[in-house]
Amino acid sequence: MTNAYDLLERLIAFPSVSRDGNIELIRYVSSVLAEAGIDHRLYPSPTGDRASLFATVGPSGPGGLVLSGHTDVVPVDGQDWTRDPFRLSEQDGRLYGRGTTDMKGFVACAIEAVLLARSKRLAAPLHLALSYDEEIGCVGVRPMLAELAKAGLRPDWVLIGEPTSMQVASGHKGKLAARASCCGVAAHSALAPTGLNAIHLAADFLGELRGLQAELAEGGSRDEEYDIPYTTVHAGIIQGGTALNIVPEHCLLDFEIRNVAADDTAGLLDRLFNKAEALSAVARKRFPKAGISIEVVNEYPGLAADAGDGALTRALSAAGTNRSIKVAFGTEGGLFKQALAVPAIVCGPGSMEQGHKADEFVERSQIEACRAMLSRLCLGLSAA
């Protein structure tokens, strides 16, 4: 079971959707590593239905490489799949299944690499880090990183295998997710002006979000290496009201900021706090209990590698290219860099254009390119 394709078939069969946990998948990987005699440790969540895993082959001590991937996937609910999403299938060189691209394809290759490296004489350690709940805000990797930092882990660098079509990504934007809770005053809709509509209050705040976005798009900081070269502000969910004939008392608005490195999310959030308070002050003139409060729900740092970074040089060499990119989506890379004070690079098989969709797939050629890259990286860790 050291073959990446066999491993991928088993991994896809575990429906490790974030909301349901990944513990069965992690137990399977643990059994594979244990059978090979590879030291590893689980980092279970308080609920026990999910866990992260960290394994090491080669000598103990600093240096070496961490291969990092998340094991949770997004739901398939409401998607029009033409095949079983939790059964690996192949057609015309494409491997189909939930998570083939994001990102069990890389995870399978990484496990294979560690199993193969077990029989080699390494001069530096090779680590495997598998996390849970990445899809809902890079949640599961944080407790594991805190423990690894406390234990003094200091690899040379980390390779995050998110799907980049095997292009080497030197950076991505940071993200801050927040919730605006809008409080109005209920009334019968026939007497609507006697109440304060919380949905209307949320709409006023939404206007401020859109105004900030327009400002950033027109004159904000720019990084032309991104497809969207400026910081984005996005409202994703609005929830409010219970019946059409009731003026709603409460409304929730979830929004996010994805920032380029030159923009400070704390400063942008302060501006939005001020906008919310100004709207609240106007509402309180008639309704003292009215207002908008903002709570940060989740955030993770961006990632950036310098042009002369040794990790970037190694990744480019192993990938057989001299050009790097930046990706729009977030990864756990910034958290690794922040917690362990080591560089992180993103490179993995498949395209995010296929992720999170019905009939998700990864090209077999992408898996082969990943296997070849990891083989070259492991060769670089081998003793003379």
CA dihedral sign of residues 278, 281, 283, 285:
negative
CA distance 358 to 76: 7
- Give the helix, strand, coil percentages of the chain, each rounded to 5: 35, 25, 40
Give yes or no: 77 in active site: no
72, 112, 135, 359: the active-site residue: 72
Establish whether 72 is a catalytic residue: yes
The Cα 124–Cα 207 span in angstroms is: 54
CA distances from 188 to 97, 183, 271, 282 (A): 50, 16, 34, 22
- Distance CA(367)–CA(90), nearest Å, equals 13
Of 9, 133, 134, 332, catalytic:
134
- Backbone φ and ψ for 111, nearest 5 degrees, come out as -60, -45
Written as six digits, the tokens of 41 are: 């440790």
Reported as type and span, the H/E element at residue 365 is: helix 364-381
Q: Is 180 helix (H, G, I), strand (E, B) or coil?
A: strand
> Going by C-beta distance under 8 Å and a sequence separation of 6 or more, which residues neighbour residue 140?
43, 45, 50, 51, 52, 70, 72, 131, 132, 133, 134
* Catalytically annotated residues: 72, 134
